[in-house]
Amino acid sequence: MFIEIFSVIFYVSAINSFSIEPVLSPEPIHLHNHHTNEQIFEILDKIHQKCPHITHIYDLNRKSANNTHLRVIVFSDYPEEHQQLEPEFKYVANMHGNEVIGRELLVELAQQLCDLYLDNHPDVVRLIESTRIHLMPTMNPDGWNMAALNEFQKWNNKKPGKFTTLEQMLKEIGSTDWLIGRTNFNNVDLNRNFPDLDKYEYKYNRDHKNKFDHLLAEASYEINSKHLDCNMKPYQNETIAVANWIVNNDFVLSANFHGGDLVVNYPYDDSNDHETKYAPTPDDELFTRIASFYASNHANMTDRKKKKCDMIGEDFDKGITNGANWYPVCGGMQDFNYLASNCFELTIELGCDKFPPGKQLKQYWKDNMHSLFEFIWKSHVGIKGYVLDTNDQPVANARIVVEKHNFDLGDYELIKHHVTTNEYGEYWRLLSDGIYRITAVGPDMTISKNHEIIVMSEDRNEAQRIDFRLLDTSYKYSRKLKKKLRNILV
């Protein structure tokens, strides 16, 4: 039982309410065909030129294995810098180079965010002015090149003259090979190439070490000392660049886009014995809620009459799946987000075809446009605020300890996953609806008073702000408190 110092009740609910009507246009501007990497970079540059005050373009600190930039476009009212209490959100696409729908959707999303902001659309203006949005259309540009060029060469060998240009083939056929281009230029699957932090998490649970999150020392050991991933492949430039990006930014929520099925996948991606079975995180309820949110806003992801894909014969009638319960994956990116940082990530499979004909892209946009926009708002669910010391100075690396009320037990249960404050003392804690008891604990084990809150989420609203002040307690009381805290903190 967590010690209760003071109890303050907050009703965490949005102040304003909005009707949830589609915001983005169903008539895309760019999705008449696939775009090469160079064309995508050109479009991003043009969007920045059109909307210079709300966009910023940057590259990650490493290039791809074949020396291509890993480029990101940011949308915010202050796009070049973090704004305090403004959550950071990211979309990542094309991690597997031959799974391409997401990269095209992100290019279109960027264009429409720019255009609608210039049109002063109130929902877009409000989103951009309250959220810093990072869009990475391609994490594996080399894989895309391999998939597209291999298909073009195959057709030239099989039926010379059928397609005179790469663009013509991409529009009519796309790419039909299931595997070529999936990996990066060095033939490494990037979604098996992140430090396998699941194995540490499961080991710590078995050993009752109560180490739940921010496994940065373990990640550093895997990359800098072990050098090989869980499949004995060297860590790749793309993986290291994205891993650094994840842990060095205040990302709150993320999704990465894949193809080959139609479902939203949530952590954990691997089970404790690497067998196919349900492997929940401590935030399983939250993950299932936000996964269902994306799926239910999609045009047909939850439609039981939808076309079924061929992968492992799954139906996914609710449009969501736990990763390990589908098939276990070690070294995946979404689990790395959760176990190494404050970021919660989903993996979204956008359709049965990995590289469909370019002429079909408009339909994928129509199917996903509502989900794409509304999901960004989920970076605002729950609470946010500051942790301060007795002199009202920000406290970095404080932990936000969350207990949720269990009505069956009639008591609070600890959620064994803590988010931490950044250098400014800021935190964001995503929460599903419910009753919570929340406390901040400083690096020196000083503690705040409890806040009991009722979370009632509403669409298109910012998180309620709740600040914590760490208390300066007596030595005797501190010893008693630390003894209590050992049960739930490292």
Active-site positions read 349
Edge-to-edge, what's the strand order for the sheet holding 344-351? 55-59, 71-75, 132-136, 88-93, 251-258, 344-351, 261-266, 320-322
What residue type is 232 in one-letter code? M
Cβ contacts of 190 within 8 Å, gap of 6 or more: 95, 96, 139, 140, 183, 184, 236, 238, 239, 333
CB 319 within 8 A of CB 292: yes
Cβ contacts of 379 within 8 Å, gap of 6 or more: 87, 88, 89, 131, 252, 253, 428, 430
Q: Is 176 left (phi over 0), alpha (psi -120 to 50) or beta?
A: alpha
- The two three-digit tokens of residue 31, written as one number: 């999705």
Site of tokens 């939808």: 306
What is the C-alpha to C-alpha distance for residues 27 and 33, in angstroms, rounded to an integer? 14
Alpha helices in 310-446 (DSSP H): 323-326, 333-340, 361-377
DSSP for 44-84 reads: HHHHHHHSTTTEEEEE-SS--TTS---EEEEESSSTTSPPT
What single DSSP character describes residue 223? I
What is the C-alpha to C-alpha distance for residues 484 and 315, in angstroms, rounded to an integer? 46
What is the C-alpha to C-alpha distance for residues 382 and 387, in angstroms, rounded to an integer? 16
Of 366, 66, 93, give the one whose Cα is nearest residue 236: 66
CA distances from 140 to 42, 61, 68, 480 (A): 17, 15, 9, 52
CB 483 within 8 A of CB 39: no
Half-sphere exposure of 424 (CA within 13 A, CB side): 12
What is the C-alpha to C-alpha distance for residues 78 and 132, in angstroms, rounded to an integer? 8
